[in-house]
A = this chain, B = another copy of it.
Amino acid sequence: MRIGFVGLGVMGRPMARNLIAAGHDLSLYRDKGELEGHQCSSAAEAAERSEVIILMLPDTPDVEAALFGVDGVAESLKPGSLVIDMSSVSPSATKTFARRIEEQGCDYLDAPVSGGEVGAVQASLTIMAGGRPEAFERARPLFKILGKNITRIGDVGAGQTAKVANQIVVGLTIEAVAEALLFAEAAGADPAIVRAALMGGFASSRVLEVHGERMINESYEPGFRIRLHRKDLSLAVQAAAELDLALPNTAATQQLMNAAIADGDGDLDHSALHKTLRRNRS
């Protein structure tokens, strides 16, 4: 299939490589010439050459610019094309983007992922999609090349909503484990023994297992950067205001991420919230 791929960063590059390895014909924007495919000079050129256009970009304004900016996808999109945004961006902006793309006689899916760089390289991403069932079925063979746990959550925007929900659970569970291990340490108990004792019961989680261990070892190389997680919780807090919904611990955890970034720790793994809460304790 002729696929345009816009956004070849830490996540996009290994995803594009997996599509190429599966035999697809990729038009790339912007690649440094490392991947096998047609090097385009704009997102518009990638769209012109393709039936399916995949975006994997950092944030909502990047997606908006790639779609609707100068030399953007919308300028040269052919009717019947499918646009798949796999970035993690605003659910409400996603609905607007989809409506504008659909007005050009095309289909739109939001399909953000979790699993990080390792999941992108190993093609084990979790993919949470929103859009028409027919569009999802059209994309499914491509999703199967990129990931494992693939779900159509609902209509356009529902994929982004699920991704934000995922980031709420992960961020707040990391914060919970950090508070618990710091409490144990401050009260004079060995946090490594406490973590082990908690693993069997209702406190058990992937976060207690993986991020709890990072906290105990103080090994904070990313993984997933606090700066990016703050973006996701900002999406949640913004949407909560639009929806008149109270998300108290999401808001407090976002604030704590602000403090971490102010401390110069924005590029550490999100488990470093433990460091932020620990402050000046020796």
Contacts and interface: CB of A to CB of B under 8 A. Distances in A.
Interface string A78-120: 0000000000000100000000000000000000001100000
A257 to B, nearest CB: 12
Interface string A157-199: 1100110111011111101110111111011111001101110
A10 interface: no
Given A162-B198, A184-B165, A194-B165, A179 B114 contact: no
A210 B204 CA distance: 12
Contacts of A248: 179, 252, 256
The oligomer's copy count stands at: 2
Contacts of A173: 172-173, 176, 203, 205
B250 A252 contact: no
A22 interface: no
A85 to B, nearest CB: 16
A239 B187 contact: yes
Nearest to A196: B151
Interface of A: 91, 114-115, 126, 128, 130, 148-149, 151, 153-155, 157-158, 161-162, 164-166, 168-173, 175-177, 179-184, 186-190, 193-194, 196-198, 200-208, 210, 236, 239-240, 243, 245-250, 252-253, 256, 277, 279
Chain A contact surface mostly:
helix
A252 B254 CA distance: 14
A115 B204 CA distance: 12
A162 B176 contact: no
A176 B172 contact: yes
A204 B206 contact: yes
